[in-house]
A and B are shown apart, each in its own frame.
With several copies, the nearest count.
Chain A
Amino acid sequence: MAELSVEIAGIRLRNPLLLASGIWGESGQSLAGAWDAGAGGVITKSIGSEPRPGYPNPTVEEFGSWGMLNAMGLPNPGIAEYPREIAIARDRGALVIGSIFGGTAEEFARLAREMEATGVRALELNLSCPHAEGFGTEIGSTPQDVSDVVRAVVREVKVPVIAKITPNSADPAGLAVAAEEAGAKGISAINTVRGLAIDTTLARPVLAHGIGGLSGPAIKSVGLAAVWQIYRKVTIPIIGVGGISNGIDALEYVMAGARAVEIGTAVAHEGVRVLGRIVRELDDTLTERGVARLADLVGAAHRGFNVPTADARP
């Protein structure tokens, strides 16, 4: 048994696996189920000011077993209804992180206050949904935007604030630096990658919304690159997200610089027992390799690594 517990933003997690936002996150019993299945913590669906039905179906298109496109449209019951769901999960002992999204820094701040009041242990700000007009990436695509939102939220709440960063950026690390300077205590990276699928027999996009977000194994390398670059620029802990479906994937993120990871698409078809499986795989791998503490491996792939130049050879 390796020591899998880690600390992020002042919170000790029994293991580094968090249920990603938007997955099993509308109902308190689902959050509790993910906790019971072995998650180190659960992140709620991103919650907004009002109930929001999301986009019409189709909202999801799967690509083989290596990728998934979705445009849910941030459906959520709204902050007024949601506390009862969090209460159910907390009553079952779950460590809950509350995710919120808004259209302005002020809206984020207001939601943050209400979310904090539910007893969540931290807030994750969704600054990165690639397909919601007026939210998400649109508000999180420049360092200035990120900074404004994080600053407004940090002023309002006592719980640690985690900024969830988009990969759809020339410089995700620059966004993370802006979040850190504005007072964020952690960075989650990444949200989905902007994508689209077209059905050629119908000559139309498959998803009702057209543009969606790519997730699953296809984006693992994209998330790893973001975590890698962010690790070199910030000192606050990083939570890696994107394409993790087994213990080795999780370890790749840890070595790239993540202190914890989130699991999203891997829950599809398998359900939350995937969380327990990945925890076990991580434990087995570390034990097999004689590593006592997972935390010692955070950023391990950076040690001794130098970027070569293209002129290194004749």
Chain B
Amino acid sequence: MHRIVEIEDRILETPSTVTWRFPYAEPCAPGQFVMVWIPGDDELPMSLSYTDGPSKGVTIKAMGPTTRHIQSIPAGSRIGVRGPYGNQFDATPRRLLVVGGGSGNAVLAPGVERALRTGAQVTCALGATTERELLFSERLAGAGASVEVATDDGTAGTPGFVTVVAQRLLAEGAFDAIWTCGPEVMMRKVAELALAYGIPGYGSVERHMKCAVGMCDACSLGPYHVCLDGPVFRTEALLSLEEFGRTKRDPSGRRVPL
């Protein structure tokens, strides 16, 4: 059932990304997502960027018509929320490497905070196209993570892809687990690194979603359904899928290039 809630807080994170905080009593875990309904517009899957306490949050990047429209919706507006759905990030790593890109950082953030609270050592490699688009690097550094940054245009941190930073961190330090979320080409690279270093990897994946409860098949990914078996998968499992990083299904169910 949809619950109608008011956006209590609206934070402009970057020029193209907004966070909404809203009251939502359901227990939620890092990695899980909710379906967010903009009445009169679409309903979209959004990972929770804040999972603790009575007030949950999502962080939304402008990608198409609805997510662009979302950027201008004021606090106090009403939205529909259902969920949480899906699985969560493993709660037990001790030395954790996190590799995020773009809005993927928002998906990873609450899990990083939880890991830090339970005493883990967390190193984050966070990527963005440009400095102003960099998401949650301060939030995670403030929480106690060691944060390295990469931007495509070199306006902050290492110039180039975040995977390069990740590769260096893996060469330098020891990790028990790698978490990743971002563009699939990036995640494929991280998955390959995890394999090469023999470290368990976990990646949060996106596919088109409609029902979110494992019925309509919209989100099928190989033998899996992202809404039911994911969104967090072992990167080994992802690597074995011919679709991963290459194709997805459009709303009609046709396979299209990613």
Contacts and interface: CB of A to CB of B under 8 A. Distances in A.
Q: State yes or no: do A and B touch (Cβ within 8 Å).
A: yes
A265 interface: yes
A267 B214 contact: yes
A72 interface: yes
Interface string A76-118: 1110010000000000000000000000000000000000000
A57 B37 contact: yes
A260 B249 CA distance: 32
A61 B255 CA distance: 27
A27 B217 contact: yes
B251 A54 contact: yes
Interface in A183-239: 199, 201-202, 204, 206, 208
Interface stretch (A18-26, A144-152, A174-182, A275-283): A18-26
A51 B254 contact: yes
Binding site of B, secondary structure by majority: helix, strand, loop or mixed?
Answer: loop
A24 B215 contact: yes
B251 A313 contact: yes
Interface residues of B, number: 36
Contacts of B220: 24, 26-27, 29-30
A29 B223 contact: yes
B253 A26 contact: yes
B223 A23 contact: no
Nearest to B222: A29
Contacts of A268: 211, 213-215
Given A29-B220, A29-B223, A58 B252 contact: no
B43 interface: yes
B253 A202 contact: no
A299 interface: no
B4 A201 contact: yes
A64 B1 CA distance: 8
Contact of B212 (A54, A60, A76): A60
A204 B39 contact: yes
Contacts of A134: none
A53 B250 contact: yes
Contact of A62 (B39, B213, B214, B254): B213
A290 interface: no
A34 to B, nearest CB: 10
A75 interface: yes
Interface in B182-204: none
A58 B80 CA distance: 10
Contacts of B253: 26-27, 45, 51, 75-77
Contact of B35 (A53, A58, A78): A58
B252 A51 contact: yes
Interface string A31-71: 01100000000000100000111101111111110000010
A50 B218 CA distance: 17
B211 A70 contact: yes
Query: DSSP majority for the A interface?
Result: loop
A220 to B, nearest CB: 13
Interface in B1-60: 1-2, 4, 35, 37, 39-40, 42-44
Given A53-B250, A202-B78, A25 B213 contact: no
Contacts of A52: 252
A58 B2 contact: yes
A26 B37 CA distance: 24
Given A75-B251, A199-B80, A58 B43 contact: yes
B228 interface: yes
B225 interface: yes
Nearest to B82: A62
Nearest to B4: A201
A277 to B, nearest CB: 15
Nearest to B229: A271
Given A51-B254, A58-B35, A22 B216 contact: yes
B126 to A, nearest CB: 30
Contacts of A27: 217, 220, 249, 253
Contacts of A199: 2, 4, 39, 80
B210 interface: yes
Nearest to B256: A314
Nearest to A57: B43
Contacts of B214: 267-271
Nearest to B1: A62
Contacts of A270: 214
Interface of B: 1-2, 4, 35, 37, 39-40, 42-44, 78, 80, 82, 209-218, 220, 222-223, 225, 228-229, 249-255
Given A22-B216, A201-B4, A271-B225, 5 more contacts: A24-B220, A51-B250, A51-B253, A53-B252, A202-B39
23 contacts: A23-B215, A23-B216, A24-B220, A26-B217, A45-B217, A51-B250, A51-B253, A58-B43, A60-B213, A75-B216, A75-B253, A77-B252, A78-B252, A199-B39, A201-B78, A204-B39, A204-B40, A206-B2, A268-B214, A269-B213, A270-B214, A271-B225, A314-B250
7 nearest A-B residue pairs (beta carbon): A57-B43, A26-B253, A53-B251, A26-B217, A51-B252, A27-B220, A77-B253
Interface of A: 22-27, 29-30, 32-33, 45, 51-54, 56-64, 70, 72, 75-78, 81, 199, 201-202, 204, 206, 208, 264-265, 267-271, 304, 313-314
